[in-house]
Amino acid sequence: MLRIRAGSVHPVTAPPITDGAVLVADDGRIAAVAAHSQVPTPPGARRVEFPDAVLVPGLVNTHTHLELTHLAGRNPEREFSRWIRTIRALKDATTSEEFDHSAEQGVRDCWTAGVTCVADTGSTGAPLRALARLGARGIYYQEVFGPDPADRAASLADLRAAVVRLGPVASPRTRLGVSPHAPYTVSEPLYRAVADFARRETLPLAVHLAESREETALVRDGAGSFAEALRARGIPVQAHHCSPVQYLLQLGVLGRATGCLCIHCVQVDERDIAILRDSGGAVVSCPRSNRTHGHGTAPLAAFRAAGIPVGLGTDSVVSAGDVNVWAEAAAAGLDGEDALRMITIEGARALGLDGEIGSLDVGKSADLAVFPSTVLYRPLPSPTALLTVVAGRPVAGYIPAP
């Protein structure tokens, strides 16, 4: 057993406890959360004490691209469609071994930052393999691309093959989902086919949606830089006369049957917010990435007021620089307990994992992190966790000897 005492313990679903402690059972679950004096110390338990620190649930980063960890600082482009093309070229120049190392480094960087659960999208499978190999927790969404309607069958076959290949790697702690990437990389028939496939195979679904103004111009008017780039490749483009959110509703990607995780949702109006609410899915907001690319600001308060589950994500380190969700909360204008709730229980709820993680409650998995106490009020640019625990196992920081 593992017993962690801290200057204050923040269960998130209950008020903070001054001089509190958490007892972790050998099955990796939380056995007790209370004031230090009320938490037993079973014989043989490993004991660790952090008198000047806060003990919080492990942080949830609801959008990462861990296979791109090695590309931090390597894309100088600013204009979004050119930035995307440069990422594609850098990925083409990466070997599968490099992707594996990159994803593994990404998982370790998450642990250093106190992040114990990620929702990751990628095209190589490397993040799922890294999560499984290292004993991490997360959902990996296998991306599928194909902007030309003529490529629908080939793209779907690629996706099916990837799911067959990766299925045995998945587990209750490292889940597999699928992600038709974005409206500028996925054709209408491919969206329909992937949504159908996800429903039939009961795979979680995630999409990049309503991120840039160029994406809205493409969907609504068949115009703008994405439209020009597609036409230059000989790919037909048509105006759909609606917003990207309405477009994905029409295609069956959004809806109660898929519970889709919608990443970004910056370019949305009131009608879109109502659609997102009624679709039974969740929204991921990435304020720092949106700022980097000049996309604008997602209406976080409106999403929360509508009762839509919302998580914060860092997006790739190429956009945000790191996997630090405290900085993401600060960029969203949140601090203190409100920030903490957003990057723990709210993130877990957005991923449908709030029954298992996201708060310090007896019976939940012991996913937790210890930070210097200043983190709640003055988040450092990159606060390092003093200790990170996943399912009862210390994975980063100070690891007490058995």
CA–CA dist 70, 74 (Å, integer): 9
Least CB distance to Zn ion at residue 36 (A): 42
Taking the complex as a whole, how short is the minimal distance between the CB of residue 212 and Zn ion, in angstroms?
12
Question: Residue 200 and residue 204: Cα distance in Å, rounded?
Answer: 11
Nearer to Zn ion among residue 315 and residue 354 (C-beta): 315
385: nearest Cα among 56, 11, 12, 72: 56
**If you compute the radius of gyration of the chain from its CA atoms, what whole number of angstroms results?**
21
Separation between Cα atoms, residue 268 and residue 265, nearest integer Å: 6
d(CA 337, CA 12): 8
- The residue (of 22 and 159) whose beta carbon lies closer to Zn ion is 159
Whose CA is closest to 313, among 347, 338, 337? Answer: 347
Q: Which structure tokens are listed for 401?
A: 């000897």
Provide the minimum distance between the beta carbon of 63 and Zn ion in the complex, in angstroms, as a whole number. 6
- Separation between Cα atoms, residue 347 and residue 326, nearest integer Å: 13
Query: Closest separation between CB of residue 265 and Zn ion, Å?
Result: 12
Q: Which of 176, 141, 144 is nearest to 64 (CA)?
A: 141
Angle among Cα 212, 217, 222 to the nearest 5 degrees reads: 140
Looking at 86-94, 123-131, 179-187, 311-319, which segment touches Zn ion (CB under 5 A)?
311-319
- Give the shortest CB-316-to-Zn ion separation in angstroms: 6
Nearer to Zn ion, 48 or 194 (CB): 194
Task: Please report how close the Cβ of residue 377 comes to Zn ion at its closest, in angstroms.
Answer: 29
Region binding Zn ion by CB under 5 A among candidate stretches 23-31, 50-58, 307-315, 337-345: 307-315
Q: Give CA–CA dist 137/362, Å, rounded.
A: 19
Contacting residues for 104 by C-beta, under 8 A, at least 6 apart:
130, 133, 134
Number of residues that bind Zn ion (CB under 5 A): 1
Q: How far is 298 from 162, CA to CA, in rounded Å?
A: 32
Q: How many CB atoms within 10 Å of residue 240? A: 17
Whichever of 2 and 312 has its CB closer to Zn ion, that residue is: 312
Q: Taking contact as CB under 5 A, which single stretch among the options 6-14, 138-146, 302-310, 314-322 is the one that binds Zn ion? A: 314-322
Q: Which residue is nearest to Zn ion (CB)?
A: 315
Residue 315 contacts Zn ion per CB under 5 A: yes
Nearer to Zn ion, 322 or 367 (CB): 322
Q: Least Å distance between CB 396 and Zn ion?
A: 24
Whether 95 contacts 383, CB under 8 Å: no
* Choices 231-239, 315-323, 327-335, 336-344; region in contact with Zn ion by CB under 5 A: 315-323
Taking the least distance from each CB to Zn ion, the nearer of 84 and 368 is: 84
Two tokens at 133? 């190999």
In the complex, what is the shortest distance from the CB of residue 142 to Zn ion, in angstroms, rounded to a whole number? 14
Task: Give the residue with the Cβ less far from Zn ion, 315 or 322.
Answer: 315
Cβ proximity to Zn ion: between 215 and 315 the closer is: 315
3-state secondary structure at position 67 = helix
Binding span for Zn ion by CB under 5 A among 100-108, 182-190, 308-316, 336-344: 308-316
Least separation in angstroms between residue 386's CB and Zn ion is 29
Contact residues toward Zn ion (CB under 5 A) are: 315
